[in-house]
Structure 1
Amino acid sequence: MSDTKKPKKPSRQQVYTLLVQIGRKKGDGLPDKATGAALMCFASGVDEAEAVRETVAILKQADTAPLDVTGYGTLAEREEDGQEIDDEERALMQQALDDNAVIVAQVTPFYDKL
């Protein structure tokens, strides 16, 4: 038996920017009069489908009700589209990659107009 370790393969994980719309659910933490919210998330995955699945699973565990997910691609794809990405956003994306995690970067509650 050999004690030599195989070299670690480079990670195929990438970070995807996702916009998740959530509805109301008891214990979701949204403001009382909110009808739902939009969550800007950074999620790691080997592809966008995996990032979406992981994000939805985590949000369900957090007692939210995901309704719809829109993918905006990887950092490189967003830059190719001409989007400006600030340092704070880049740091959150790197954290999602480093931790193999889903980071909720922004929450925007929705309210019905009266």
Structure 2
Amino acid sequence: MTTEAKPRRPQQVHTLLVEVGRKPGDGLPKNATGAALLCYASGVEEAEAVRETVAILQQADLSVLEVTGQGTREEREAGGEKIDPEELELMERALAENSVVVAVITPFFD
């Protein structure tokens, strides 16, 4: 009995918007109530990219509250979005390193 290997699905970069709350040692500004993080994460599917992103952020002592997928590069461009060269560079880095890149951290204040 011969079993053929399933073709591997390629890694894609997913754009994720992550909302975090406060936690001791999180590194956010003193008066911040939380933050939004724009991340680029590689994964075969969005669920994998989300799991990896949450795991890495939790290791960094961040309290993840919510993750919203913004789509892959292809999905975003198909929706008419123009992606600037700096963002493309970060996406390529996430793909090449099979990693999560936190591109922007925006703290929330009351």
- When normalised by structure 1's length, the TM-score is 0.88
Distance, in Å, in 2 between the alignment partners of 1:65 and 1:10 is 33
Counterpart in the other structure of 1:30: 28
Q: Over alpha carbons, which structure has the higher Rg?
A: 1
* Structure 1 portions without partners, runs of 5+: 1-8
Using the TM superposition, give the Cα deviation of residue 12 of structure 1 relative to its aligned residue in structure 2, in angstroms.
1.0
Name the amino acid aligned to 1:56.
V
Deviations along 1:24-83, one digit per CA (max 9) or x if unpaired, are 001111000000000000000010000000000000000000000000110000001111
Where 2:27 maps in the other structure, the secondary structure is: coil
Using the TM superposition, give the Cα deviation of residue 106 of structure 1 relative to its aligned residue in structure 2, in angstroms.
0.2
- Give the alignment partner of residue 10 of structure 2, picking from 12, 16, 19: 12
Counterpart in the other structure of 1:45: 43
Counterpart in the other structure of 1:92: 90
- When normalised by structure 2's length, the TM-score is 0.92
Name the amino acid aligned to 1:65.
S
Distance, in Å, in 1 between the alignment partners of 2:44 and 2:82 is 24
- Give the alignment partner of residue 67 of structure 2, picking from 66, 69, 82: 69
* Structure 2 portions without partners, runs of 5+: 1-6
Distance, in Å, in 2 between the alignment partners of 1:31 and 1:69 is 21
Equivalenced residue count is: 104
